[in-house]
Amino acid sequence: MTVTSLKVRRANVDDLTALRSLWLNMKWDAAALESRLTEFQIVENNGEFAGAIGVQLRQTSVLLHSEDYTDFAVADAARELFWERIQKLASNHGAFRVWTQETSPFWTRWGFQSANEEILQRLPNEWKSLEGKWFTLELKNEDAIKAALGNQFASFMATEKQQTNQVAAKARKITNLITVIGFIIGIVGISIAAYLFLHLKSAGR
């Protein structure tokens, strides 16, 4: 099977009949999966429906699910195309990690590993109720990225605080200057008034 005969695209309503057939054959909840149609990626072989995989995005995680094919002779070639599409989707959504319960050796060959108890703590809560063994692949180092973002935020806050203090200091200087000018104007005004009063009083004698 050559990759050139295969094409991957997003599922649409025209695929429902073929998808239902796959899901019912696997004894999956077809009604529930139908409501999540837009999650599915379709593979066509020479223009004919050949299989599908679900790709669910949640926060910084991606879930691969409900993978099946009408002809498993195309499966690995289709998975290569699916994986290219999945990596692009993950990158566009800023995902750190991909999860799956699919057991095909293809996924472990591409770096998926069994998730231990520590890694499972990162599994999104809504997926924790799913029964089965979990495999996962880290796309980006989440801890390192969060630490870097934390450092950047701390640096940003320090810079903002410094700028705020500088603005406040300038404001105090301006306030003090206005106060001094006002005081001087007041003294000058009083002096002029006193001079005029004394001058008029002397002239009136």
Determine the straight-line distance between the first and last CA of the chain, rounded to whole angstroms.
123
Give the pLDDT mean for 33-55: 97
Give Rg (Cα) of the chain.
Answer: 35
Task: Dig out the tokens for 195 from the structure.
Answer: 């001079």
Contact call for residues 123 and 99 (beta carbons, < 8 A): yes
Contact call for residues 51 and 70 (beta carbons, < 8 A): yes
Q: What is the pLDDT of residue 138?
A: 95
Q: Residues 151, 152, 156, 158: what is their CA dihedral angle, to the nearest 10 degrees? A: 20
pLDDT over 90 at 17, yes or no: yes
> Which of 163 and 170 is assigned the larger pLDDT?
170
pLDDT tens-digit map of 64-101: 999 999 999 999 999 999 999 999 999 999 999 999 99
Q: 3-class DSSP state for residue 38?
A: helix
pLDDT tens-digit map of 92-147: 999 999 999 999 999 999 999 999 999 999 999 999 999 999 999 999 886 654 55
Q: What is the pLDDT of residue 40?
A: 98
Q: How many Cβ atoms sit within 10 Å of the Cβ of residue 115?
A: 19
Q: What is the pLDDT of residue 172?
A: 75
Q: Which residues pair with 51 in a beta bridge?
A: 43, 69
